[in-house]
Structure 1
Amino acid sequence: MKIDALFAKLWLQYLEVTPCAKPIQKLLCDEGEVINDHVAFRTYALPDIRLEDLARHFTALGYRYKDEYQFKLKKLRARYLLHPDPKVPKVFISELKVDELSSSAQRIIGQLYQQLPTGYMKECKALYSGRPWHLSYQDYQTLLSESEYAAWLAAFGYRANHFTVSVNALKSFNTLEDVNDVLMENGYQLNLSGGLIKGSRSDMLEQSSTLAEHVCVNFIDQKELIPSCFYEFALRYPDASGKLYQGFVEASADKIFDSTNMRATG
């Protein structure tokens, strides 16, 4: 699959559970195209669906591995991939260290994992396949009490967890503060975990994000409104060479994860 076709499918699937994305784009850019800085994915650190299993589809398209990050409290490992073409979005993939969870959480995730067909992640379409397993609301709640990440992935499966607006490419906004002000003036709730803006000029990256919208999810025993996906905004600064910094800031990314957490309001 070609890069443009893959991102088009990811975007359409993302819009299904993130209806705010299109109106936000129009709010930020009435004319022209909103440039995507990066897309993020989540997975479990289990055979055949590890970070590297998802990344394989991107390395086949010319992407190359860059930095690795550790989020000890959230029990996550992450890496980002960069394409030689600067116009192509970066890809940020994280995985949950399942073996560091409680026995009850491991049991639930193990039951989900057993429902996957052999070689599930070998085809590119798995990246936008949604939830590939049956899940009860009770099991979702059990996972949520221990790991919001584990619960989100159990409920939503494989999809872009978020897209990211490149603030650098916006013609009408010079700062991330300006973007945030317009979003809040128009009633959008932003993630306040770690502050409204995560990172700084000295970090060479500033980030903010909406709080995930609540959508109705069908569990095997009931329907419930739960946080889905969110929209991120990134402003990058030049590094020592004069080129825009392309990496991520571990402390900031840790707080961006909280955008799908219903408790990330302050």
Structure 2
Amino acid sequence: MHFEEQEPLDFVLNDLFAHYRQHVTDVSKITNSLLAKAIIQEQADIVNDHIAFRTLGVPHLGIASFEKIFLAYGYTRKDYFYFEEKKLNAYWYAPANPDYPRIFVSELIIEALSPAVQAIIHRYTDAIVVDPVDTLDLQNGQKVANFLQKPLWALPTSEEYTTLLAESEYAAWAIYNRYYLNHYTISIHALPEGYNTLEAFNAFLESIGIKLNSSGGKIKTSADGLLRQSSTVSALYDATFADGKMLPIAGSYVEFAERGVLPKFADLPKADIRPEHRREGFEANNADKIFESTYTTQITGEAK
């Protein structure tokens, strides 16, 4: 993923990806293997289906705040999703230009958590008394990029993190990682023959030692069969907490999406198929399992 930096959005996306790629080793491992096999000629040949962010549903933050950035760049809010078990709200956003990735933003429903966990989250977020996005010059790509890498609250203690983790792995991830890019997504159907189905691509991934999220099966399929998704599991990295203690915690991961051709376009020659001919949007059941790419059970294979 790389965009010529002509607009603020280009700068923001490039900066997000640069930090993400630096910290998620699977990104370069996958890209380098694709390059070595001449499946792609450069990173820019990979079509990015979407990127995703996690937020906390507290005053002045959450989706209502975060979405202002991408709405200012011409994105349109689309479908709403509710994840009851994980206590999440989410929306996805469509770009004005199809060359840009979709955006998926989720939000933890804080009031659905236990009083003890709510208290920890509010201890760090209550100091935010105005929406920080409202003070940003959204047409200055550098400032927005810096904001997305800037901590909005202090680091938690290791004990607080562990308490969050026991009840909501999403809460623990978000309180430590803040607005860090949660994942980017390779459009599998856009790859050359032999690698353009999830069965083939997953086999390729596992052949180079990539571990896949197995929650709900390695391939998660929408009810209509037209949106199929897989993902890696996050690596663990050593994180230092406010009390000076270090714990291994989940980082980010890589997703893979295969969007099928809509039935009304089934007779189109392959060479004529464009993005608008394929299945759009997201699927709650798929996304529910993809969230678990940062969960302990997927990373270690053991119950938390």
TM-score tier after normalising by the smaller chain length: over 0.9
Residue of structure 2 equivalent to 1:210? 232
Q: Name the CA distance, whole Å, in 2 between partners of 1:60 and 1:256.
A: 28
Residue of structure 2 equivalent to 1:27? 33
Q: Does residue 79 in structure 1 map to residue 85 in structure 2?
A: no
Q: Name the CA distance, whole Å, in 2 between partners of 1:153 and 1:127.
A: 13
Pairing 1:1-266 to 2, within 5 Å after superposition: 2-28=8-34, 29-32=39-42, 33-116=45-128, 118-122=130-134, 123=136, 124-125=144-145, 126-130=147-151, 132-172=153-193, 173-199=195-221, 202-221=224-243, 222-242=245-265, 243-264=277-298, 265=301
Equivalenced residues, count? 266
Q: Name the CA distance, whole Å, in 2 between partners of 1:204 and 1:194.
A: 17
Deviation at 1:200, TM superposition (A): 5.0
Q: Name the CA distance, whole Å, in 2 between partners of 1:88 and 1:189.
A: 28
Q: CA RMSD in A?
A: 1.8
Q: Which runs of 5+ in 1 are unaligned?
A: none
Q: Name the CA distance, whole Å, in 1 between partners of 2:166 and 2:182.
A: 20
Q: Is the 8 A contact 2:190 2:196 kept in 1?
A: no
Range with bigger deviation, 79-88 or 10-19: 10-19
Instruction: Call closer, same or farther: CA 1:178–1:201 in 2, change over 3 Å.
Output: farther
Deviation at 1:117, TM superposition (A): 6.8
Instruction: Call closer, same or farther: CA 1:17–1:186 in 2, change over 3 Å.
Output: same
Q: Name the CA distance, whole Å, in 2 between partners of 1:194 and 1:47.
A: 34
Q: Name the CA distance, whole Å, in 2 between partners of 1:200 and 1:62.
A: 28
Residue 84 of structure 1: SS of its match in structure 2? Answer: coil
Deviation at 1:97, TM superposition (A): 0.3
Which of these two proteins has the greater Rg computed from alpha carbons?
2
Letter in 2 for 1:258: E
Instruction: Call closer, same or farther: CA 1:241–1:51 in 2, change over 3 Å.
Output: farther
Instruction: Call closer, same or farther: CA 1:207–1:18 in 2, change over 3 Å.
Output: same
Range with bigger deviation, 147-156 or 117-126: 117-126
Residue of structure 1 equivalent to 2:270? none
Deviation at 1:240, TM superposition (A): 4.3
Deviation at 1:224, TM superposition (A): 1.7
Q: Name the CA distance, whole Å, in 1 between partners of 2:296 and 2:41.
A: 33
Q: Name the CA distance, whole Å, in 2 between partners of 1:15 and 1:132.
A: 24
Deviation at 1:16, TM superposition (A): 3.3
Structure-1-length-normalised TM-score: 0.94
Q: Name the CA distance, whole Å, in 2 between partners of 1:256 and 1:228.
A: 14
Q: Percent of aligned pairs with the same residue?
A: 34
Q: Name the CA distance, whole Å, in 2 between partners of 1:201 and 1:95.
A: 24
Letter in 2 for 1:43: T
Q: Is the 8 A contact 1:80 1:92 kept in 2?
A: yes
Q: Name the CA distance, whole Å, in 1 between partners of 2:69 and 2:278.
A: 26
Deviation at 1:134, TM superposition (A): 1.9
Deviation at 1:226, TM superposition (A): 1.1
Q: Name the CA distance, whole Å, in 2 between partners of 1:115 and 1:216.
A: 27
Q: Is the 8 A contact 1:131 1:156 kept in 2?
A: no
Q: Name the CA distance, whole Å, in 1 between partners of 2:148 and 2:262.
A: 32
Instruction: Call closer, same or farther: CA 1:17–1:115 in 2, change over 3 Å.
Output: farther
**Deviation by residue 1:200-257 (Cα, 9 ceiling, x = unmatched):** 5833100000000111211112122211100000000122453111201100100000
Q: Is the 8 A contact 1:190 1:211 kept in 2?
A: yes
